[in-house]
Chain A
Amino acid sequence: MGQLLQYLINGLAIGAVYSLVALGLVVIYRGTGHLNFAQGEMALFATFGAWWIYDHGATMWFAVLTAASFSFIVGGVIEFTLMRPAGKKSPLTVVIVSIALFQGLNSLTTLLFKGSADGLPFPSLFPNKPGDFFRFGDETVWKYQDIGVLATVLILTALLFLLFKKTKVGLAMRMVANNSDSAKLVGVSTTKILMLSWGISSALGAVAGAMIGGINTNITTATMFEVFLLSSAAATLGGLDSPIGALVGGLSLGIIKSLVSNYPEDWPGGSYIGAPTAIAVAFVIILVVLLVKPSGLFGSTRVERV
């Protein structure tokens, strides 16, 4: 029992990172209807940027906050210079441009940080020495590092929720998500809102990169690929247009992955279910959920009378 609890706790931190990247995907999807394939690599670039700032003598917090702020601006610029012109052509063009951005940013990161293919040691934002954990009972521990990651993600989600529900700019974002033409008619500059959405999404990605760096204690140019894969699955599981769905989807996926990874070998199917197949099993579970509920757990099935 204690062990099961331990696996749950272990899954929460990595799941929170999936949630954060998924939130970024959802913010853009709501505004544009597009899945941003470059979400992970934008975050990767920002994370290497944070490492670079840290390497030049800044504190880790300063480095991550600077990288996130910078990402906010870069996200807006990417929307304005690349995605908007692409969007005027066709949805397929947007997909191709974002895949190109995915590949390009990965290559750029490799180029700028030569010789770091084996990974750069990445310090955590939170206390992460061998004894830095809470202990429950005899066999369960919760690392400060993991608590920090989860808390950061929950706080950011709550802030995003307040932004959506309580501010005028949030109302405008919801308008654009629901009916872009009508948003224009009531006076919303939809172009500014889309830039803002990309900025927020990009900044969330930068924070997620720093979180995964802290969990893994290093970063490589491949770090964000698996994260992106699972995060887009998490966003799909939660329902692509639902922020709450992204949070729940990410955390569930983290927990599922942790539980499957630690599935006892002497249990039924134990020779197939385990760490090497964790992602595959997670995807099968998502597939089943989507078969039952195609719009995802919290995705909107539009209620509309005419």
Chain B
Amino acid sequence: MSVLLEVNGLVAGYGAVQVLQGLDLHVNDGEVAVMLGANGAGKTTTMRAISGMIQRKGTVRFQGASISGTSPNEIVRLGIAQVPQGRGTFTDLSVEDNLRAGAYIRKGASVEDDLAEWYDVFPRLQERRAQKAGSLSGGEQQMLAIARALMSKPKLLLCDEPSLGLAPIITQELFAILGRLNTERGLAILVVEQNANLAMKIAHSVFVLETGTIVAAGSAEEIANDDVVRKAYLGY
């Protein structure tokens, strides 16, 4: 199993505030990695540092090549798509324009095929294709954000707290879809999640983040059997 994304000694923050204090993590080809951590631990900062949205130090390697100095609009071309926290849909644009926006880096007729394919996976989006994205429900917007990311044909999907503000049943549906994207299509996913129990079900590996560093890492089983982590994040 080869390493797709490798992060070493990642340091990042906002202005004078340093949030990440030398963070290491990796995502293998075809696997789902879950990042757990309390509010303020640095999960979103990690995601934004990987996708190049904020200044960072340390090494970030994707498919063996360094992307530490690469800008976000180039990183997505290499095959990393991010679903940002709070969904980040283009609220004034129609659902279909949002999806076309996702395919911004691509050319050719295959975009239309993909559009049809994701409408198949997310039928609600097809029903609302002409509607402004801002008028969709939270769950629908999250589906749209994921579908938009997929339109760039990524090798790695970064999902930043997809369950935020959603009803439990929608969250379950969402993770079922993420799980299927991984098992059926071999898509590698790095997902940040507060709902640890749900996320662990689709995870291959787990990283636990506390105040800017990884405090525990291992396979999903190892972490589930770690008493300290289990009590703190799984609640039993």
Contacts and interface: CB of A to CB of B under 8 A. Distances in A.
Interface string B168-193: 00000000000000000000000000
Interface residues of B, number: 33
Contact of B76 (A181, A187, A190, A304): A187
Contacts, number: 82
A291 interface: no
Contact of A185 (B53, B92, B136, B141): B53
A174 B53 contact: no
Contacts of B71: 184
A302 interface: yes
Given A178-B93, A304-B91, A187 B138 contact: no
Contacts of B90: 174-175, 178-179, 182-183
A182 B141 CA distance: 14
A125 interface: no
A185 to B, nearest CB: 5
Nearest to A182: B88
B165 A178 contact: no
A300 interface: yes
Interface string B55-85: 0000000000000000111101100011010
B104 A168 contact: yes
Nearest to B164: A306
- For the residues of A in contact with B, the DSSP-based class is helix
Contacts of B102: 186
Interface residues of A, number: 24
Interface in A158-202: 168, 171-172, 174-175, 177-179, 181-190
Given A178-B93, A179-B91, A187 B134 contact: no
Contact of B73 (A174, A177, A189, A302): A189
B91 A181 contact: no
Nearest to B137: A305
Of A177, A181, A187, A303, which is in contact with the most chain B CB atoms at under 10 Å from its CB?
A187
Interface string B87-99: 0111111000100
A171 B76 contact: no
B88 A185 contact: yes
B215 interface: no
B43 interface: no
Of A186, A188, A302, A306, which is in contact with the most chain B CB atoms at under 10 Å from its CB?
A186
B132 interface: yes
B88 A179 contact: yes
Contact of B152 (A187, A189, A302): A187
Of B90, B132, B138, which is in contact with the most chain A CB atoms at under 10 Å from its CB?
B90
Nearest to A189: B73
Of A174, A184, A185, which is in contact with the most chain B CB atoms at under 10 Å from its CB?
A185
27 contacts: A168-B104, A171-B100, A174-B90, A174-B97, A175-B90, A175-B101, A178-B91, A179-B90, A181-B53, A182-B84, A182-B88, A183-B90, A184-B53, A185-B51, A185-B53, A185-B81, A186-B152, A187-B73, A187-B74, A187-B76, A187-B77, A187-B105, A188-B104, A189-B73, A303-B135, A305-B136, A306-B165
